Amino acid sequence: MLEGVSLLTGFALVMLLALLLPRLMERLRLPSILGYIVAGFLLGPAVLGVMNPDGKVITLFAELGKLLFMFFVGFEIDLEDFKKSRNRALCFGTLTFAWPFAAGVALAISLGHGLNAALLTGSIIASHTLLAFPILQKLGLSRHPVVLMVVGGTIFTDIASMLVLAITVSVHETGFSWRFLGIELLELAVFVPLILFGAGALARKALIRYGQKPEMRVIVMLVVIALCAEGARLIQLEGIVGAFLAGIAAKRALRGKFAVEQLEVVAHSLFIPAFFLTTGFLVDLAVLQRSLLENPLMSGGLLVGILGGKTLAAWLTARIYHFDRAEMWTMASLSYPQMAATLASAVVGYQTVNAAGERLLDAGFVNAVVVVIIVTCVLGPILTARHAPRMKSSSPPDNDLSPDPTTRPVPS
């Protein structure tokens, strides 16, 4: 509709809506991040057409935003705190992966898909993106034991999902190989400790040597995050896994938030909003209607598998560890949103073609995933915003563990 507007006018519209819509969402008692998604919908090809979803600049900004988003999620994790809840995190991560995975496999097989495609379908909906994490940060709950448990479980679900993706793609293209599986597991066993212990040390030394100026600290951290993300891709994992681990490593190696304060400002004002804006680009009412009419069982089945499976996982975890209702629903709602890993895996599955010219996943499945992303990205943050404040009063976090933003990194 407004395809002819200049680049600067389009940029001004983006900034204006990114400024106003999150505030409007807060006034409506909805998560502010939904404002960015609505802005993306309005500015994308479905409505005004101001932004080109395939543009190199917005694609780069969104990719960086996705990586930075996961980096700061990881940066909130203190390994000493995490050790206290690692058993709970493993329990929740296993349950929140297993139930949706089983539901996705059963759904795909019942709709006539092969076992390989069914396994990929299950893994796609078993992972999740911590979309509502900024809500918890604003409430001062990012280091609440329940939140640490969910974040720890996310490590398991994302890595497991990416591992299944790598295996199913390899099987579809060349057939199953125990050798490939063994190599992948070995690479993973080397990669995780390498990032956790090596990336933090690298960042610390680089900051000591080059980080006298704020802009240099931003550049150093961006380089470290990009290297970790690319390292993850080299072993067939999604880049967000590397960025997430880089955040944990940076928190472990750097004392306080001084080294990343400038990066945080840049990320939350530009790159992370771009990530949410591009999610809004996916909202196409025509595609949504077509998916619901042409393939309602797939769309509906995936939603039931996600919402039912992850709610059941949260309920079982709450029963095992005696969490209250608010904590249970916070766990569940945090694990609903399907974004980065989900869409990436679906697109990779669609693009994977074997020697016979057969795709691993069809276009109908990708459209169904878009429906799932829209519904879960709206529902999850709304429920988190509703239940998390009640959790704060029932189980307050240990404020003594909060990082001191004025602490400087100390040379080793």
Query: 2 pLDDT band (50/70/90 cuts)?
Result: low
85, pLDDT greater than 60: yes
Domain with 148, as residue range(s), is 7-401
Establish how many alpha carbons lie within 13 A of residue 369's alpha carbon, considering only the half-sphere containing its beta carbon.
30
Q: Please state, as a whole number, how many other Cβ atoms lie within 10 Å of the Cβ of residue 353.
A: 12
- Identify whether 82 is part of a domain: yes
Residue 390 has pLDDT above 60, yes or no: yes
Beta-bridge mates of residue 359: 353
DSSP SS3 for 359: strand
In a domain, 409, yes or no: no
Mean of the pLDDT values across residues 16-31? 81
Asked if 388 and 139 touch (Cβ cutoff 8 Å), the reply is: yes
Check pLDDT > 90 for residue 100.
Answer: yes
- Would you say residue 40 lies in a domain? yes
Quick check: is 2 in a domain?
Answer: no
Most confident of 73-77, 112-116, 253-257, 341-345: 112-116
Predicted TM-score (pTM) above 0.85: no
What is the distance between the alpha carbons of residues 316 and 126, in angstroms, rounded to a whole number?
16
Say if 160 falls within a structural domain: yes
Q: Pick 151 or 4 by higher pLDDT.
A: 151
Q: Please tell me the least confidently modeled range out of 174-188, 330-344, 389-403.
A: 389-403
DSSP-assigned letter for residue 221: H
Q: Is the pLDDT of residue 405 over 50?
A: no
Which CATH number fits the domain that encloses residue 305? 1.20.1530.20
Q: Is 353 helix (H, G, I), strand (E, B) or coil?
A: strand
Cβ pair 162, 96 in contact under 8 A: no
Higher pLDDT, 363 or 270: 270
Write the DSSP assignment of 20-60 as a string of letters: HHHHHHHHTTS-THHHHHHHHHHHSTTTT--S-TT-HHHHH
Provide the domain count of the chain.
Answer: 1
Kindly report, residue by residue over 280-324, the tens digit of the pLDDT.
787 767 766 777 777 788 889 999 999 999 999 999 999 999 999
**Is 90 exceeded by the pLDDT of residue 278?**
no
Partners of residue 353 on adjacent β-strands: 359
Contacts of 410 (CB under 8 A, 6+ apart): 255
Which of 118-127, 249-258, 260-269: highest mean pLDDT? 118-127
Kindly give the interhelix angle for 145-174 and 115-126, rounded to the nearest 10 degrees. Answer: 160
In a domain, 408, yes or no: no
Cα–Cα distance for residue pair 234/226, rounded to 1 Å: 12
Two structure tokens written together for 233: 């891709």
Task: Return d(Cα 218, Cα 216) in angstroms, integer.
Answer: 5
Percent of the residues in the chain that have a pLDDT greater than 70, as a whole number: 90
* Average predicted confidence (pLDDT) for the chain: 83
**Does the pLDDT at position 245 exceed 70?**
yes
Q: What is the pLDDT of residues 139-153, one digit of tens each?
A: 889 888 899 899 889
Residue 148 lies in a domain: yes
Whether residue 109 contacts residue 93, with contact meaning beta carbons closer than 8 Å, is answered with: no
- pLDDT grade, residue 204 (50/70/90)? confident
Structure tokens at 194: 């390498």
Query: Domain for residue 412, yes or no?
Result: no
When pLDDT is cut at 50, 70 and 90, the band that residue 410 belongs to is very low
Can you give the pLDDT at residue 387? 93
CB atoms near residue 400 (< 10 Å) = 5
pLDDT band at 172 (very low <50, low <70, confident <90, very high): confident
